[in-house]
Structures are given as structure tokens and as C-alpha cells.
């Protein structure tokens, strides 16, 4: 009886295998695993879908704080491409020989906003968060998230950081910072414009001059076995088509000569 069950299981596995046909080229295409900064949560699915439609190469994204993803790469995580929220971590990985030579490139410049979902709360300028009505302010940890660092820089430049710091609730990523505000665990969150859907809550833009530019860069992981496919994905992200998607999702596109 056991032998019979084994034979049935093998037969079922064989029957489930993909059969060659007109789509066999797509089926044999590699799947790229992309380490993507949390601010790309809304943008990466559309970029990935468009890329797959053009090339047949599938994308699986793993989102997280930039510093956390960089540490995973240093410890040998099996990523093919890293799309970070800054340039510093990419430079550090490159210096350690963990990136494919000449694969590093800027792909977008982030835009920071103050966002809150409660229409009953009114704010006409960033400084209004010093009001007692704003009891908790969600910010991604500045030591691991570039948007969190830009937030602290901006609030210091406005001269209000010391006043609001006791009210700050730190999140592991910008996606979590938004979740804190969306679920009532904070009144307001500082997040990328790219995470704000149209008609969702209220937002105020943070002037770029208040913080260092949020230049986001990417690179191919040297240990990746899919170097050619990874290069195609990188080229797509910095192409005119890719940049149009980034701009529509709330980023400043990168202008190239």
C-alpha cells in the first residue's frame, strides 16, 4: 500500500509540471528577488508588473528599512538587486565589494510630507504640530531610515525639534510610521509622498531646502546568479518609462544627460 501511495504521489507531481509550449520562454525566465526600501511599497508593484510584461522576468520584492536590508545583504541574504532609500548604504556595500562593479545608479529623489488621516485635525503649517492636539508624532527611526533622518533634519531646521521630540513615536520603517497614524496610534506621521494615495487624509509638503536631498540609489548584488536579468531590471528603472512611473508615484525623477 505504501509503494502504491508513493507511485501515485510521483505521478501527480509529474502531471503538475509545466509543459513546454508558446509560454515556455516566460516560464524559464529567472525570478529576481529585490530588496526594496519601504517607501517603494506602492511604486514597486507597478514597476515590476510593467517590467515582467516587457521581459518575462518576474520580480519578488522584500520591503524593509534601508539599513536593515543592507545588513541582510552583508550577511549573505539571497537578493539580486537592492533599491535603497539613500546613497550612503549603497556606497558602503560597494566599498565592501558586495555590489557588481559599475552597477550602482541613482533611480529617484524622494519627497517628504507630513500626513494625517483625521479630517478633524487642522494644520496649515508644519509648526502646528507643537499644538497639544498633536499628542503623538510618528517618525521612522532616523538611524536606519533615510526619510526619518530627513524628518529630524527638517524639524531641527524649523526650530521645533526640541519641543516635539517628547511626543515622537519611532517606527521601524516609513510604512510602519504611516500605519501608526492610520490606526490612531499617532496623530500625524512624516512619510514619503509616494506612500500617500490620492484623496487619502491630509498632507503638507516639507520643503526640500530643510533637509539633505533624499537621493535613492540601487545596485546589483555581486553574488546574484542572475546578473543579466538584474541588469535589465536596473536599466528599466532608470529608463524614461521607469522614471515616468516614479514621477507619477510621487518622486522627483532623476535627470540624466
Sites in the chain below the pLDDT cut of 70: 1-28, 255-257
Q: In the chain, where are the structural domains located?
A: 31-109+214-248, 112-210
Q: Tell me if residue 8 falls in helix, strand or coil.
A: helix
Same fold, 31-109+214-248 and 112-210: yes
Alpha carbon distance 120, 114 (integer Å):
16
Other beta carbons within 10 Å of 102: 9
Alpha carbon distance 183, 231 (integer Å):
39
pLDDT at 198: 86
pLDDT at 28: 61
Q: Of how many residues is the chain composed?
A: 257
pLDDT at 257: 52
Fold classified for 31-109+214-248:
D-Maltodextrin-Binding Protein; domain 2 (3.40.190)
Tell me the pTM: 0.81
Question: Do 69 and 177 meet the contact criterion of CB atoms below 8 Å apart?
Answer: no
DSSP 42: T
Superfamily of domain 112-210: Periplasmic binding protein-like II (3.40.190.10)
pLDDT at 255: 66
Amino acid at each position: 500500500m505504501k509503494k502504491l501511495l508513493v507511485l501515485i504521489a510521483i505521478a501527480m507531481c509529474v502531471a503538475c509540471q509545466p509543459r513546454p509550449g508558446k509560454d515556455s520562454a516566460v516560464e524559464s525566465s529567472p525570478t529576481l528577488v529585490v530588496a526594496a526600501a519601504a517607501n517603494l511599497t506602492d511604486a514597486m508593484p507597478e514597476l515590476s508588473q510593467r517590467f515582467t510584461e516587457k521581459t518575462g522576468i518576474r520580480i519578488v520584492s522584500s520591503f524593509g528599512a534601508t539599513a536593515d536590508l543592507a545588513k541582510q545583504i552583508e550577511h549573505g541574504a539571497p537578493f539580486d538587486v537592492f533599491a535603497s532609500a539613500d546613497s550612503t548604504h549603497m556606497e558602503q556595500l560597494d566599498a565592501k565589494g558586495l555590489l557588481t562593479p559599475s552597477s550602482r545608479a541613482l533611480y529617484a529623489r524622494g519627497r517628504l510630507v507630513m500626513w494625517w488621516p483625521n479630517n478633524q485635525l487642522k494644520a496649515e503649517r508644519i509648526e502646528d504640530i507643537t499644538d497639544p492636539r498633536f499628542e503623538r508624532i510618528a517618525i521612522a527611526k532616523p538611524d536606519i531610515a533615510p526619510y526619518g533622518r530627513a524628518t529630524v533634519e527638517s524639524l531641527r531646521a524649523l526650530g521645533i525639534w526640541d519641543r516635539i521630540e517628547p511626543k515622537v513615536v519611532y517606527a521601524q520603517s516609513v510604512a510602519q510610521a504611516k500605519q501608526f497614524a492610520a490606526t490612531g496610534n499617532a496623530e500625524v506621521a512624516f512619510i514619503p509622498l509616494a506612500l500617500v494615495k490620492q484623496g487619502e487624509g491630509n498632507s503638507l509638503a516639507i520643503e526640500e531646502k530643510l533637509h539633505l536631498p533624499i537621493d535613492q540609489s540601487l545596485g546589483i548584488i555581486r553574488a546574484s546568479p542572475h546578473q543579466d536579468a538584474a541588469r535589465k531590471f536596473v536599466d528599466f528603472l532608470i529608463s524614461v518609462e521607469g522614471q515616468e512611473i516614479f514621477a507619477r508615484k510621487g518622486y522627483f525623477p532623476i535627470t540624466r544627460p
